[in-house]
Amino acid sequence: MDGLPSSYVPARIVRRQDHTESLATFWLRPERRIGFRPGQYVTLALPGEDGRWIKRPYSVLSAPHEDVLELFVECVDGGALTPCLFEQHEGDDVGVRGRAAGAFARDNERTHHVMACTVTGIAPFLSMLRDARQRGETGHRYLVLYGASHPDDLGPYASELAALAREADVTGVATVSRPWEAEGWTGETGRVEDVLRKHLDARGWDPREAAGYGCGNPAMVQNVLGVLRRAGFSADHLHEEAYFPDAGETTPAEAPPAAPPARRQGVPMTPPGGVVLKTAPRPPGA
Ligand SMILES: Cc1cc2nc3c(=O)[nH]c(=O)nc-3n(C[C@H](O)[C@H](O)[C@H](O)COP(=O)(O)OP(=O)(O)OC[C@H]3O[C@@H](n4cnc5c(N)ncnc54)[C@H](O)[C@@H]3O)c2cc1C
């Protein structure tokens, strides 16, 4: 990678999995190992058309014990970096800064963790959960709310959450905000911030033992933190990682259109409890 800034190292894309046209997971093997704490991000660099390097942060989804960096990335229409990244294939190299960064981490002063995220915002939470599982840790409880417009935007990670929930003290709730476009969806419906309170109340946790986290869409993050504050969570134990600046718009509640559009096919069933076990690729042209 000619001209790669000196603080960056080449990283080989050892695997790529596309979940939809605009969502993919990239597994990277940097030329030298990059240490990180669960919740931190790495910065990717790719050359732009004008010869300057475009750099953007991405939360690491894998846990520190894994030998590759797993990144779950959404391709942003008109974005500077992601359309270039989505042109890269297995065997190609990207630049990655040699040092991970970020203060988003599990709050170890608390034992109960309420984690809310949209789409790629699941990354830091899965890193924390994989890490806790690998260390065989006990004594912590997690409620993870994972939202997207459509089930296929949850990638394979709602299934992973469901698997973790079967063996650890994790409750995973996947929710879709456009269920009228998801035939067969029997999981939770609505935006993360709209269903959070119901699931929180069902746990009955003492807010003095709990920390809250929001990651992903900035409007969702603010709404979630507001719900948690009103539920008695201390501001010192609310943590946020917004992925892009808030455009200043309020996100209107999603409502089904008067005449439902063509339904998406092939969306899998969910078990009772609202955790998705499996997602299906978006049908072509959808
Ligand atoms: C700490 C941190 C961790 C991050 N982790 C991830 C991650 O794990 N996966 C991931 O996909 N992204 C993540 N992001 C976002 C990522 O850094 C880029 O902002 C994003 O990929 C867009 O880059 P771009 O160069 O293609 O678009 P840009 O040229 O930077 O942005 C173009 C426009 O799109 C807006 N925008 C950026 N992202 C989105 C989006 N997702 N939806 C709607 N509008 C958007 C921008 O505000 C801007 O107006 C993270 C951001 C931060 C700050």
Predicted pLDDT of residue 167: 81
Instruction: For residues 136 and 57, state if they share a domain.
Output: no
Q: Which of 37, 72, 244, 251 maximizes ligand 1 atoms within 8 Å of its Cβ, making it the mutation to test the pocket?
A: 244
58 Cβ closer than 6 Å to some ligand 1 atom: yes
Residue 72 backbone dihedrals phi, psi, to 5 degrees: -110, 115
> Measured from the CB, is residue 41 less than 6 Å from ligand 1?
yes
Is residue 206 within 8 Å of residue 193, measured between CB atoms? no
221 with 214: CB under 8 angstroms?
A: yes
pLDDT 10s digits, 97-150: 999 999 999 999 999 999 999 999 999 999 999 999 999 999 999 999 999 999
pLDDT of residue 256: 56
> Higher confidence at residue 60 or residue 248?
60
Question: Could you tell me if the CB of 79 is within 6 A of ligand 1?
Answer: yes
Same domain membership, residue 223 and residue 120: yes
The range of the structural domain enclosing residue 162 comes to 112-242
- Whether 259 maps to a domain, the answer reads no
Which of 25, 52, 58, 251 to probe ligand 1 with, by most ligand atoms within 8 A of CB? 58
Domain boundary among 62, 97, 132: 97
Q: Establish whether residue 277 lines the binding site of ligand 1, counting it when its CB lies within 6 angstroms of any ligand atom.
A: no
What percent of the chain stands above pLDDT 90? 80
**Burial class of residue 206 (count of CB atoms within 10 Å of its CB; 0-12, 13-18, 19+):** exposed
Whether residue 262 lies inside any domain: the answer is no
Domain end residue (candidates: 71, 97, 123): 97
Q: Is residue 3 a part of any domain in this protein?
A: no
**Ligand 1 within 6 A of 57 CB?**
yes
Question: Residue 264 — very low, low, confident or very high, per pLDDT cuts 50/70/90?
Answer: very low
- List all residues 6 or more positions away from 63 whose beta carbon is below 8 Å from its beta carbon: 38, 127, 128, 130, 131, 134
Query: Is the distance from the beta carbon of residue 73 to the nearest atom of ligand 1 less than 6 Å?
Result: yes
* Percent of all residues in the chain with a pLDDT value above 70, rounded to a whole number: 86
Distance, CA 47 to ligand 1 centroid (Å)? 17
Summary mean pLDDT of the chain:
88
| Residue 192 maps to a domain | yes
Confidence at residue 279, expressed as pLDDT on a 0 to 100 scale: 29
Answer yes or no: do 86 and 120 share one domain: no
Name the residue at shortest CA distance from atom 32 of ligand 1. Answer: 79
234 CA distance to ligand 1 middle (Å): 29
What is the C-alpha separation between 188 and 145, in angstroms, rounded?
10
- For position 52, which CATH number holds? 2.40.30.10
Give me the pLDDT at residue 15, please. Answer: 98
Average pLDDT over residues 197-220: 97
Give a yes or no: residue 268 inside a domain: no
**Are 29 and 87 within 8 A, CB to CB?**
no
Average pLDDT, stretch 154-181? Answer: 93
Among the three residues 97, 127, 155, which one is the final residue of a domain in this structure?
A: 97
Count of domains observed in the chain: 2
Would 269 be classed as within a structural domain?
no
Please check whether residues 153 and 70 belong to one and the same domain: no
Is 286's pLDDT higher than 50? no
Q: With respect to residue 280, please indicate whether it lies within any of the assigned structural domains.
A: no
Q: How far is the CA of 80 from the centre of ligand 1 (A)?
A: 9
Do both 124 and 224 map to the same domain?
yes
Residue 236: CA count within 13 A, CB half-sphere = 5
Question: How far away, in angstroms, is 178 Cα from ligand 1 center?
Answer: 22
